[in-house]
Amino acid sequence: MHRRVWFLAAAAVGMLALASSAAAMRTTTVSRASAMSAGARALAAIPRTPAARQASKTVNFAMEQDAGGFNLSNQDFTGSWAAYFGEVPEIRGIYMIDNHGKYRLDLASKVQATKKTLKIWIRKDANWNWQGHALFPVTASDFIYTWQQLNGVNFPKNNVASTVGYNLITRAKAHGKKQVTFYWKKPFADYKDLFGYIYPKKALAAGPDFNHFWSDCVCGYPDKKPISDGPYFLQSWTPGAGLILKSNPKWYGHTPAITTIVGKLYDAEASEINAFKGGEVDAIAPGQPISSMASLLTQNGVKHVITPGYTQEHMDVQFSKVGPQSGAGGTHTANAAALLSHHWFAQALAMALNRQPVINAVYAGVLPNNTVKPLNNPFYTVGPLATSKKYQFFAQYSNKPAAAIALLKKHGCTGGPNKPGAGGYWTCLGHKAEINFYTTTAPARCNISMPAWINMEKAIGIKLDTHCYTAQPDFFTNLLPNQPHAYFDLAEYAFQGSPDPAGWDAIYQCLTKTAGGQNYKNYCDPKVNRLMTKADSELNPIKRIAEVQAAAKLVSRDVAVIPLYARPSFLFYNSKIKGMGSSDNPTSEGPLWTAQSWKWGS
């Protein structure tokens, strides 16, 4: 629900971590050990068969990525599955994005945005349920506290993933407990994606600071009892194993029929799918396809939903000119530091790639060939703003290996092939055309796309030294978020977000103390900055689209990213579970957005 941040989407993982920094790890060692022992016992007590779970009103749902932490506004805790299980069911926002990409009022009963103000009316029946404490209302004070935590001004040391939008608010005024007005410095067009995540001020007052609270719970302090204003509590989390949600019958919406939801973590998608086939779990939402998924499409007792998604599979291109830099198990090489910031070299990299056959191989047996097309717009993934011919900015680089060789020659590179596949590697500007490429251990990446990219780049004379890392902690927590330092040259992974493009600000803004929180590639183009900033305050939708697309065109010119494809969203579930048919939400809300409506049937 915190849609100002684009979450890091991952396939099944192996090793896990609590937070990215050593300091954060030290502060949670004792609590984590305690949580593991209590949580492990609770997980062990979960019924093992679908029939037993039906009798106990329990649903087991496979998880592909461990949480790492649950403060989803913290730059270190932006994992998709942490949001699915540790935010959407417990911490509500003013809007919910549905499975069709439409915004629905949720925690707010009314929202009114003008050029000067943002007024929010909070539901009168919205209350915090902090276990062991009396109910207390969600109030304007909570909204103001949330804004102060995220605006980059009141608490400048907060490790905020994105201040965009919040930094355009100059002041706030409460009108009683259930109404609040925020005053703009400049209006913010994507106001519906603000306040998707409201902090309970009262419950956090006695806790650690922003960079450390909710590192292992969604709770109040100092007792660390679960807290929620949504349909479920995060009852326990066992790092490396899973977590348990318990229903909150005192929230403002439909009383959940399912009283317990278990997120079971699997270290490989094959294990996840086998667990579903064997009845160990009742639902799965695989991020990337593997061949064993195909049989689920026709298996008795299984229903499935496939939805066009807001998840962008892509390659990040590292723009840092400082190298070599090493850390977190990765290296930004001197070769890449010298070459990748030159647009012509990055353009040659992109020209080498024939994405469609690789995409077909990724989805082989699951979707017909060419169902998923190469993505040629860096800011839009679904609909005509992504697919219209005039917005296909990246198509100019698609599958042009001969042109890539000619471009490298034009810029004085020597030693490479005269034609694709003729052999040899280039030396450009005195540096070998040899760079490090990192991705996760997901089979679709490590076993399918990575070998293909190696061969395609080899054909034009660029060598990729490849590395497959576990998603957590090695790739998402340790390798990526180290800016301004850089520990990779190229990296393939995915971002998952919302229908509005404003979320890309934090990814493409020039890095400062309060901006570019997810700009892991250290990219900076002042023209892109200005266009995105202007679009943020443009209330005319036609003019805003023009400004965003102008920025997208420049990002494509610079090859700040190599967009690969928009990943479809998959959901497979036990046909006896009713109400799950609309749960396949392709946005960052994820598959638990309607969990309060699930129930076991016959």
Q: What is the residue-wise DSSP string for 215-270?
A: SS-SB-TTT--BEESSSEEEEEEETTTEEEEEE-TTSSSPPPS--EEEEEE-SSHH
Q: Is 558 strand, coil or helix?
A: helix
Query: What angle, 0 to 180 degrees and rounded to 10, lies between the N-to-C axes of helices 526-536 and 541-558?
Result: 160
Distances (CA, A) of 474 to 103, 129, 136, 471, 477: 35, 36, 40, 6, 6
| 523-to-139, 507, 562 alpha-carbon distances in Å | 39, 9, 13
- Is the distance from CB of 579 to CB of 283 less than 8 angstroms? no
Contact 548/535 with Cβ under 8 angstroms?
yes
Distances (CA, A) of 379 to 390, 400, 566: 14, 23, 11
Query: DSSP per residue over 320-360, as a string?
Result: -----EEETTEEE-HHHHHHTTSHHHHHHHHHT--HHHHHH
Q: Which residue has the tokens 């997980």?
A: 43
Which of 156, 90, 150, 144 has the alpha carbon at shortest distance from 120?
A: 144
Distance CA(308)–CA(570), nearest Å, equals 9
Residue 384 counted as domain residue: yes
For the record, the structure tokens of 506 come out as 């934090």
Structure tokens at 572: 């497979």
Residue 478 has a pLDDT of 87
| Residue 560 domain flag | yes
Q: Vertex 4, ends 240 and 561: CA angle to 5°?
A: 80
pLDDT of res. 373: 96
Mean pLDDT is lowest, of 426-430, 432-436, 495-499, 541-545, for 495-499
Q: Around Cβ 483, how many Cβ atoms within 10 Å?
A: 19
Tally of domains within the chain: 1
Is residue 1 very low, low, confident or very high in pLDDT (cuts 50, 70, 90)? very low
pLDDT above 70 covers what percent of the chain?
94
Residue 573, both tokens? 């579930």
Whether 553 maps to a domain, the answer reads: yes
Q: Is the dihedral of CA 380, 382, 383, 388 positive or negative?
A: positive
Strand partners, 168: none
Segment 208-216 mean pLDDT = 96
Does residue 298 surpass a pLDDT of 80?
yes
Residue listed under structure tokens 């479809």:
568
Q: Is the pLDDT of residue 77 over 90?
A: no
pLDDT at 26: 26
Asked if pLDDT for residue 110 goes beyond 90, the answer is yes
Residue 20 has pLDDT above 60, yes or no: no
Alpha-carbon radius of gyration of the chain: 24
CA 215/CA 206 separation, integer angstroms: 15
Sequence-distant (6+) residues with CB within 8 A of 52 are none
What is d(CA 356, CA 342) in angstroms, rounded to the nearest whole number?
A: 26
22, 223 contact by CB (below 8 A): no
Contact 34, 222 (CB under 8 A): no
Q: At what angle do helices 450-460 and 401-410 cross, to 10 degrees?
A: 50
Residue 354 belongs to a domain: yes
Q: What is the pLDDT of residue 65?
A: 85
pLDDT at 5 over 60: no
End-to-end CA distance of the chain: 32
We report the CATH number of the domain holding residue 362 as: 3.10.105.10
Distance CA 363, CA 371 (A): 9
- Cα separation, 555 vs 548, in Å, equals 11
Cα separation, 581 vs 588, whole angstroms: 18
Tell me which amino acid residue 7 is: F
Q: Which two tokens stand for residue 445?
A: 């990446």
For every residue of 141-161, which 3-state class applies, written as one string? HHHHHHHHHHCCCCCCCCCEC
DSSP H or E run through 508: helix 505-508
| Confidence band for 39, pLDDT divided at 50, 70 and 90 | confident
Give the pLDDT confidence of 514-569 residue by residue, as tens digits.
788 889 999 999 999 999 999 999 999 999 999 999 999 999 999 999 999 999 99
User: pLDDT tens for residues 168-201?
Assistant: 999 999 999 999 999 999 999 999 999 998 999 9
Q: Residue 185's pLDDT is what? A: 96
Rounded mean pLDDT, 2-13? 47
pLDDT digits 0-9 by tens, 133-145:
999 999 999 999 9
What's the chain's average pLDDT?
91
Q: What is the pLDDT of residue 8?
A: 56
For residue 481, name the pLDDT band (cuts at 50, 70, 90).
confident
What pLDDT sits at residue 17? 23
**Domain carrying residue 353:** 308-567
Predicted local distance difference test score (pLDDT) of residue 2: 47
- C-alpha–C-alpha distance, residues 375 and 4, integer Å: 22
Q: Output the six-digit token pair for 442.
A: 């997901």
What pLDDT does residue 34 have?
54
21: pLDDT confidence band, cut at 50, 70 and 90? very low
Count of residues for the chain? 602
Q: Does residue 491 lie within any of the structural domains?
A: yes
How far, in Å, CA of 316 to CA of 561, rounded? Answer: 5
Asked if residue 588 is part of any domain, the answer here is no
Residue 495 lies inside a defined structural domain of this protein: yes
Residue 496 lies in a domain: yes
Q: Which two tokens stand for residue 62?
A: 């496979």
pLDDT tier at 38 (50, 70, 90 boundaries)? confident
Continuous segment of H or E residues that includes residue 105 = strand 103-105
- Measuring CA to CA, how many Å separate 252 from each of 218, 232, 542, 597? 19, 12, 37, 13
CA nearest neighbour of 73 among 506, 381, 493? 506
Indicate whether 35 pLDDT > 60: no
Other beta carbons within 10 Å of 410: 10
